[in-house]
Structure 1
Amino acid sequence: MTEPFGRRKDPILRSFGKSEYGRTGTPPSQQAAMREAATRLVHRAMDALLRQETDRAADYVRKGARLSYDDGGAAPLAVAAHMYALRAVLDAHEAGDGVWIDAANNVLDPMSTRNPLALADFRHALTVVQHDYGTTPAEERNLRALTEGQHVATIREMQELEGEELSAVVIDLLEIVHHYDDAVGMICDERGIDHY
């Protein structure tokens, strides 16, 4: 599986982070630097979570939450975390055989105690992949079952948060992605799919 938030030029990756340079006078280069810093911090936080260093992961996320908003009002950390989740779902989609949605079914428990906005953002990532990359009728039925009656967020909802509130959502979203990646790996192993 390729690393989430890879360097590929997918349409979903190009659609985020567009600047309205001039509204606050923040140079595009500075905005790009903030987005890049947020991406690095998200990766470091995930690495820490994989090592079960939750305090360190939280420190990285809090640092990311302090990064300046860009001219379009986008919190760099919110965008980076959303794109990380989106990349994970897209990678699973590329594995084929319905892996992406079956893994989501293992992760999205309607009785979950995780942050509701983190769950809603992950559902949004699923719907973006479904919309932009196509699905089978069976996958669409499964996705409908996962999202019907549930909150499906937009990236803007997370961008409206800041500080500890944003950090809490991002940590839970990264935990969801971590469990999702584990589920993808397990399903691929069971089905004999090479997912790397």
Structure 2
Amino acid sequence: MGNGMCSRKQKRIFQTLLLLTVVFGFLYGAMLYYELQGQLRKAEATALKYQQHQESLSAQLQVVYEHRSRLEKSLQKERLEHKKAKEDFLVYKLEAQETLNKGRQDSNSRYSALSVQHQMLKSQHEELKKQHADLEEDHRKQGEEFSRTFSDHKERYLQLQQEKEQEISKLKGKFNLSSGARCTCTLGG
């Protein structure tokens, strides 16, 4: 009779301890779940911030492309004007040669004026070519910076993902260990 009472008391104490262990295990699991949810939200917020930054860079790049396109159109227009001025100059030169006997002095002064205009157009053309080359270099640098930023973000994202997967596998391992221990205790009881 004494043994029966002890064994019932021990059984009851064991059941109470087992119940407390299960309750604490669930509480710990819930806390861990909420902590992981918080970290996941932070990671999503960071990813959103990086995505917005990437979109901002894309918008800036689009502005650069549009600016480049306008400069190319302007350069093309300047080239056409230059070509037209050159053609006009050649036509005028022929006319001046035909009218050389009538007004040599007048033709020479007009030729000088056109020559100055031609030089100005050439210098403008060279300046536009230089600006175009500078813009292409800026565009290249921005492209490299964008690539580096994207690569850094991707590397950070993969690192965070790997860390989360490791944490999840650790939690699964702990959960499996505690489940295995509970099953052993139940079988033993």
- Give the TM interval when normalised to the shorter protein: under 0.3
TM-score (ref. length: structure 2): 0.24
Greater per-residue helix proportion: 2
